[in-house]
Structure formats: C-alpha cells, structure tokens
Structure 1
Amino acid sequence: MLMSIALILLVGILTDFISKKLKIPSLIGFILTGILLGPAVFNLLDANFLTLSADLRKIILVIILTRAGLALDLKDLKKVGRPAVLLSFVPATFEIIGTMFFAPIFLGLSLLESALLGAILGAVSPAIVVPRMVTLIQEKRGTKKGIPQLILAGASVDDIYALVLFSSFLTLVQSGEFQMLSLLKIPVSIFSGLLVGLTGGYLLAKLFEKIRFSSMVQFLILFSLSLSLVHLEAVLTWLPFSGILAVMAMAIMLYRQMPTDSDKIAHFYHQLWVPGEMFLFILVGASVNIAFAFAAGFLPLLVILGALLIRMIGVWVSLIGTNLSFKDKLFCLIAYSPKATVQAAIGGVPFALGLASGELMLTLSVLAILITAPLGAFGMDFSYNKLLEK
C-alpha cells in the first residue's frame, strides 16, 4: 500500500509536468495515468489500496466543497442577481432531464437510475472553470458586464445543487422503489443540511474569536468537523440530511463571519488539493474497466453529448433578459460545459455500493471528463479574446 501511495505521487508529479508542457489539463493526464497503473493495464497499484478509493474520494470531495465555500461571498450572488441564481440550478436541471430522456432509450436504464446518472453528470467543474474566471477578472475581460463573476457564483452553487440531488436520488435508487413521499426528503435534506452547516459555521467562528488558535489548528478543526458531517449523513437514517451541503454551508458562514482568518485556512486547503487532485483522478482512472467501456460502444457518447446539448439550452434560458450579447452568451455556454472534479468524486460511488448500473455510471463519468474537460478548457482559452470585451 505504501508503494502505491509513493507511485501515485511520483508518477502524478511527472504527469502534471508533462501535461503543462503539452498545455492540456492535468486531470486528463491523471486519468490516463490511472488507467495505465490500474488493473486494466499494468496492475501496479495494491488491491487493498484500491478498496479505499471510495473513502478517499469522499475526503477529497470535502476538500473541494470547503475550498468553494471559503471562497464564495454571498454578496457576489446579489451583485450579479437573477442570472446567477438561475445558473445555479437551471442548467443542471436541464441536463438531468436530458439524461432521463436519453439514458432509458440508449442504455436501458430506469428513470430513477437515469436521474442519478444525470445528477452525476450535471455539475460543472470548479477545477477547470474557477482558475480561468480569476484570470479573466485579472485581465478585465467581460468584467464590465460581470461575466466572470456571474459564472463563478453560479458554478459554485451548481455543484452543490447537483450533489444534493445525487445524494437524494441515490437513496431512492437504493430503496428500489419510487414513492412520491420520498420526494419530500429532498427539500428536508437541503433545509437540515443548511441549518446544521450555517449554525456550525457560526458557532465555529465564535469559538475561533474567543480562542485564538493558529491557522493550522483552525484548519484541522474545520476539516475534522466537515468529515464528521459527511459521516453524520450515513448515521442519521431517520432524518433526511445532506452532509455535503452542511460542509459547504459551514465554510460559507465561516467566511462570512471571519474573512481574514478564512483566507488563511483556505491556504491549507489549496495546498492539500495538490496531492488530492492527483489521488482523485488517478484512482478514478484506475477503477475504469477498459473492456467494459469498449463493449458499451458509442451509445454512452450519445447520452453524454445529448444531455450536454440540453444543458446548453438551460444556460441560454438562464441568460434571457440580461444585457449580454450573443458572443457573451456563447462564452457562457462554453464555460458551463466542462466536467471533471465532481464527476471524479462521485462517479464511482454507485459502483462501490454495488448498484447494478454502477459500472456503467462510472464509465460515463470518466468519458464525460475525457470529452468535456479538454473541450471546455481549450474552448475558454481560445475564445475569450474573441468573445469577451476588454
């Protein structure tokens, strides 16, 4: 197991270096590296270590959510207004509906399984979008109309919306039956997650104000509580509760109460994301069954591309009534297309839980990353000079 960890880190560093030289997203290189290191090709990773990959992905998901929460100022949502709120859930909803239409036809999935798959595919990637929007703000591209801020704010909440729906749909699929009463669990889980997270963040801020811990200790306390909230979701079987939403809400409240200290805490999460990104995408690649992916043929591609097209319609609908030009809206369509981080974190969960369609969902998650991540990244890099005003 120790050799597997060392191998992932060393090969991951080399892969990151080569990817940057070739000017391709590092996560693409990590996934391909994982496929090579995994059982499908060279089988160099310890089998016992691979069994822990589901838990490791949960830990990395906590890192992703907390990073986003510690950077999300609620004032940004108010500034960009209605379009940001609509972008928070309309595109993902359209993509889930699109998946529920295409997946039963091409893949033979049930409506519930298709909804679960749609929730997996429905989140935009902060790992690809956020750095590029920060660059646009620095270069003052599209900032007069608030386009980078709009995408940043909307994309941050978009991930949480998709993750909450994923958690709710997963519970419904595991129960094996669809009941209208089960739909009530979704708003209850959202409300309870928000309540616990916001309350926890407020109390934590008061604790940090009263007892001046070092930034490292503050990070460790926040990280431990975040992991506990995710575990609490599994323990509270009698109460619908979204642990992932609670984690995000706690980080948002902490940032609101003490922004300066939160920036220092966020620094540790940024550092932790460096090895976390390697482990996340390499382990996802290692879990892919190449033979199964080839056997599935081109039908998964039709589902991914068809649902993505429906998603773009959702983005366009969200921007109706704004002062954005056709070029501005076209850039938003491109910026809202790449998948990566969330799909890598949750794509393998149904498979790890033993769902009949779990391996197919994992395969589609990886294909969605391999297709949309480079297209979205390259699309933004090559179009922003032409589409956005300086």
Structure 2
Amino acid sequence: MLLSLALIFLCGILLGSLFQRLRLPALLGMLLTGILLGPQVLNLLSPDILGISADLRQIALIIILTRAGLNLDLADLKKVGRPALLMCFLPASIEMIGMILLAPPLLGMSYLDAAIAGAVVAAVSPAVVVPKMLRLMEQGLGVKKGIPQLIMAGASVDDIFVIVLFTSFTSIAAGDGFSPLTLLRIPSSVVLGLLGGLLCGLILAEVFRRLHIRDSLKVILILSISFLLVTLEHALTGVIGFSGLLAVMGLGAVLRRQRREAAVRLSLKYSKLWVAAELLLFVLVGAAVDIRYAFSMGASVILLIFGVLLFRMAGVFLCLIKTALTKKERLFCMLAYTPKATVQAAIGSIPLAMGLSCGNTVLTIAVLAILITAPLGAFAIDMTCQKLLSS
C-alpha cells in the first residue's frame, strides 16, 4: 500500500503539473494517472488501497465540503433565494428527462434503463465544482451576486436528490417495485442533514468559545464529527434519510457565522489538507474507470452525453429566470454546473453488480461522463470566469 500511495502522489503531482503547463486542468492529469496506474492498464495499485478507495474518496469529499462550509456566508446565500433552491433539483431533473428522451433512440435502451442512466449521470461533482468556486470567492469574482455560493450550495444537495432517484429506479428494475414513501428520503435527508449540521456547528462554536484549543486540534475534532455524521447517513437505510455531506457543509457554515475569525483560520488548514485529498480523490476515481467499455459503444454515447448536458444547461437557465444576473453571468453558471466525477464513479458500476441488463451500458456512460465533463467543465470555469464574472 505504501508503494501505491507513493505512486499516486508522485505521478499525480507530475501529470497534474504537466497538464497545468499545457493550460489544462490539473485534475485531468490526476484522472489520467489513475487510469494508467489502475487495474485496466499498468495494474500498479495495491488491491488493499483499491479496496478502501471508496472510503478515501469519501474523506476527500468531507474535506472539501467542510472547507466550502467554512467559506459559505449564509447571508449571501439568503440573498440569492429562489434560484438556490431550484438549482438543487431542477437541472438534474431536466437532464434525466433528456436521458430518457435521447438514450432509447441513440443506444436502444428501454425507458427504465435510460432513467437509471440518467440518475447516474445527472449529479454534478462537488469535488470539481467546490474548489473552483472557493477560488472565485478568494478572487472576489461573482461574490457580490452570490454566484459561487449559489453553485456550491446547489452542488451539495443535487447529489442527494439524484442518488435517491437512482435507488428507486434500480429497485424497480430489480423487481422490488417502487414505493412512493421512498421519495420521502429526499426532503428528510435535506432537512435532517441541515439540522444535524446546525446543531453540531452550534455546539462546536460554543466549545471553541469556552476552551482554548489549537487550530490543528480543532481540525481533528471537526473531521471526527464529520466522519460520525457521514456514518449516520449510511446507517439510516429506511424511508427517513439523513445527508451527512450536507450536514458537514452546514457545520462549517454555522462555524463561520458564529466564530468567523476561527473559521477563516480553519479554512486555511483545510486548504492544505485538500492538496493531498484532491490527489487521492481524482487518481482513485481514474483507477475506478474501466476504459474497455468506453471504447465499445462508439460515438453514440459521446453524442448522448453532450445532448443531456444541453438539457442540464437549459435547466440552469430556467433556475436563473427573473434574477439580477446578466447574460454573461447566467452563461457562466450554465457552464460551471456541468462537471461530473465522484457520484458517477461511486454508483456507475452498481447496476452491473446487480446483474441488470443495462449494467455495461450505464457503466460506459458513467465513465465517459467523467472523462468528458470533469476536465471540460473545469476548463470552462477557468477560461471564462474572468470574462463572464465581475468583481
């Protein structure tokens, strides 16, 4: 495992730096590192580290979402209002509709199989989007109108909505039927996640106020509570859900509101943790990619991915109707809300593991969605933010 970690960090840094020199996103180099080191090409990564890959990716997500919360000003988010709520579900819903309309004629899929594929693809990636939005906030771009805050908040709830629908669709395909009560997991996950984050944030703020604790120990304490929150999410498998990742982000936002100076210092600590976490996340996502399926379906699947992205962008446009955003700012939001990576890597192989007939096709779509949208979306954000956003 130590050799695998060394290869992940050294090769990830090397290829990430190379792609940056080529004016491409570093994460593309990290994804390529994972593909090359993974079992499909050189097979240099230990089975032990691949076995805990999902847990390591989860830790990386916790780190970046906590950092997002520590930088999220609730007052700014409140100013955004209605669009922030719509961004949590409307773009994903319209993208799934696009998949249901386009996949049957392009790939010969049934409508149910297309719905499963749509649920896999429709989630935006916080691991790609959040770091970019944090950088925009540091540069002061779009902050006055709450654009980075809007996109960060929507990206965190978007995943919950999509995963609940994915679970429902795969249950129907497996013959388990569908219960309308399952949909209760969406609002309950959001509400209980926010309440859990609020409560933990208030408790930690009071502890930090009363006790003198070094910032490094505060980070360990926050990480430990974050792990417990995500564990609680996995433990609740019934009708009532709980979003641990949303709770983690909420915890950070409450700390910023209650202990602003401490939150600024803690955010700097988390930004240093993210240097290593980012490498682990994207290299291991790349290692999960099975490129054999990606080449087996031809150009139709690529056309499908770009087609559903247009549906998603239309959904973002609808969310921003009657807002104060300019045409350029709305275009930026449409581009920034396209990258996909972590959810697709996490659930893309589940239909295949369940023995569903659409398993190989869904996995191929998920793989190509990562390879196409993660770098292109990150590249679009970097290349257009100065031109489309004002400081």
Q: Residue deviations 1:224-262, cap 9 Å, x none?
A: 111111111222345422222222222222222112112
Kindly report which structure 2 residues correspond to 1:342-353, keeping only aligned pairs within 5 A, or say none.
343=344, 346-347=346-347, 350=350
Q: Which has the larger displacement, 203-212 or 215-224? A: 203-212
Match of 1:162 in 2: 158
Answer with 117-126 or 180-189: which moved more.
117-126
Structure 1: distance between partners of 2:126 and 2:189: 24
Residues 218-229 of structure 1 aligned to structure 2 (within 5 Å):
218-229=218-229
Comparing 67-76 and 300-309, the one that deviates more: 300-309
Deviation at 1:64, TM superposition (A): 2.3
* Partner AA of 2:91 in structure 1: P
Displacement of 1:309: 0.6
Question: AA paired with 1:165?
Answer: F
Note if 1:52 corresponds to 2:52.
Answer: yes
Alignment gaps of 5+ in structure 1: none
CA RMSD of aligned residues (A): 3.0
Q: Per the alignment, do residues 234 and 355 of structure 1 end up closer, same or farther by CA in structure 2, a change over 3 Å counting? A: farther
1:306 equivalent to 2:307? Answer yes
1:230–1:109 Cα change, 3 Å: farther
Between stretches 152-161 and 290-299, larger displacement belongs to 290-299
Change beyond 3 A, Cα 1:352–1:258: farther
Partner of 2:209: 209
TM-aligned CA distance change 1:93 to 1:64, over 3 Å: farther
The equivalent of 2:280 in structure 1 is 279
Task: Give the length in aligned residue pairs.
Answer: 385
Correspondence for 1:184? 184
In structure 2, the CA distance between the partners of 1:130 and 1:299, relative to structure 1 (3 Å rule), is same
What does 1:123-142 correspond to in 2, within 5 Å?
A: 123-126=123-126, 129=129
Read off the aligned partner of 2:304 and give its amino acid letter: V
| 8 Å CA contact retained: 1:119, 1:165 | no
Q: 2:116–2:170: 8 Å Cα contact kept in structure 1?
A: no
Relative to the length of structure 1, the TM-score reads 0.86
Post-superposition shift, 1:120?
Answer: 4.3
Q: How many percent identity over aligned positions?
A: 47
Question: Matched residue of 1:34: which SS?
Answer: helix
Mark the CA change 1:181 to 1:219 in structure 2 (over 3 Å): closer, same or farther.
same
Q: Counterpart amino acid of 2:78?
A: K
| Cα deviation code 1:244-283 (max 9, x no counterpart) | 2222222222222112112222222211111111111111
Give deviations 1:190-214, integer Å, cap 9, x for gaps.
Answer: 2222222211211121122222211
How high is the TM-score relative to the length of structure 2?
0.86
Q: Which amino acid aligns with 2:31?
A: I
What is the aligned partner in structure 2 of residue 296 from structure 1?
297
Shift of 1:305: 1.4
CA contact (8 A) 1:66 1:248 kept: yes
Query: Could you tell me whether the CA contact under 8 Å between 1:285 and 1:366 is conserved in 2?
Result: no
* Partner secondary structure for residue 230 of structure 1: helix
Q: Does the C-alpha gap of structure 1 residues 189 and 386 become closer, same or farther in structure 2, counting only changes over 3 Å?
A: closer
Give the deviation of 1:364 after TM superposition: 2.9
Q: Which residue identity lines up with residue 249 of structure 1 in the other structure?
A: G
Matches within 5 A, 1:52-71: 52-71=52-71
